[in-house]
Amino acid sequence: KANRKFHPDDSVIDVDGVKIGGGSFAVIAGPCSIESEEQITYCAQRVKAAGASLLRGGAFKPRTSPYSFQGMRSEGLDLLKLARRATGAPIVTEIMNTEHLPLFENVDLIQVGARNMQNFELLKAVGRQKKPVLLKRGLANTLEEFVMSAEYIMAEGNENVILCERGIRTFETSMRNTLDLAGVVMLHKMTHLPVIVDPSHACGHAWMVPVLAKAAVAAGADGLMIEVHNNPAKAKCDGAQSLTPDQFDELMQFIGKEVEFFGKKL
């Protein structure tokens, strides 16, 4: 179902009125984690005003250490919904457990994170519900495995899948991951599904995010996911890779023109 061979036309995924794919470009932005009502609402207003069409915010966080901030969980989801009401921007947030699905009924785009890309039972479960799914590439997975994971979701009946390249593990240690932009080009050949790029988790350095975001647009990405925090130095998660709202605003002014240059619409 994901194979380009049997579906030559690009799929366009509709997330509560926001279209992604086939010439429609969308930017997802917001903090790594939801930390308070003020924080998420402020970030939502700023990223929306800058031109983002979807708001992100983690409530259930897949942290490497069990002693790190684990997210505000269902309380965080409630705050994210308040931020949606304040801005009108559809919301994206990560699910980590099939048992949490009922909590995600009111979420517009359900994210399956890199660490769960091959959690096949979770993939089947999000495939059995109707909300679109944002599937992130695993830390060390091939493109073939990535597309097969999308197939798991689609095989259950939900064909609204958006792929996200977010960097892979290589021998390089100066960046958090290695952004596989050639992989974006190859994915577009392999599948008709939209492919977006997350430069924030790919490199781990805020200063590097703008140039990678621009390169992703040039490589044909259908969208971007960018971490933006009201006060990166104090962020509970991923502050080092988060843009300030002002930095995001400046980047979006360029991205808007670049997307148009490549014949797509933001």
Least distance to ligand PEP, CB of residue 202, Å: 9
Cβ-based nearer residue to ligand PEP, 35 or 94: 94
Q: What is the footprint of Mn ion within residues 218-247 (CB under 5 A)? A: 238
Q: Point out which residues pair with 135 in neighbouring strands.
A: 112, 163
Q: Check binding of 198 to Mn ion (CB under 5 A).
A: no
157 binds, among Mn ion, ligand PEP, none (CB under 5 to 8 A by kind): none
Q: Is 96 in the site for Mn ion (CB under 5 A)?
A: no
Minimum distance of ligand PEP from residue 5's CB (angstroms): 28
Q: In the bound complex, what is the minimum distance in angstroms from residue 92's beta carbon to ligand PEP?
A: 9
Least distance in angstroms from the C-beta of 33 to Mn ion: 7
Tokens 């994170």: give the residue. 113
Pairing mode of beta strands 109-112, 195-197: unpaired
Q: Cβ-closest residue to Mn ion?
A: 32
Q: What is the DSSP letter of 242?
A: P
Which of 32, 217 has the CB closer to ligand PEP?
A: 32
State CA 230 to chain mean position distance.
19
With CA atoms as reference, report the closest residue to 103 among 77, 69, 71.
77
DSSP state of 178: B
Q: How far is CA 4 from CA 31, 186, 221, in A?
A: 33, 11, 16
Q: Which is nearer to Mn ion, 100 or 236 (CB)?
A: 236
Give the distance from CA 171 to its chain's centroid. Answer: 24
- β-partners of residue 225 are 28
The minimum distance between CB 116 and ligand PEP, in angstroms, equals 8
Q: Which residues of this chain interact with ligand PEP, rule CB under 6 A?
A: 32, 58, 62, 94, 113-115, 136, 166, 201
If you write DSSP's letter for every residue of 25-64 in order, what string do you get? -EEEEE-SB---HHHHHHHHHHHHHHT-SEEE-BSS---S
Binding to Mn ion (CB under 5 A) within 5-44 occurs at 32
Identify what 210 binds: ligand PEP, Mn ion, none; CB under 5 to 8 Å per kind: none
Binding site for Mn ion (CB under 5 A): 32, 238
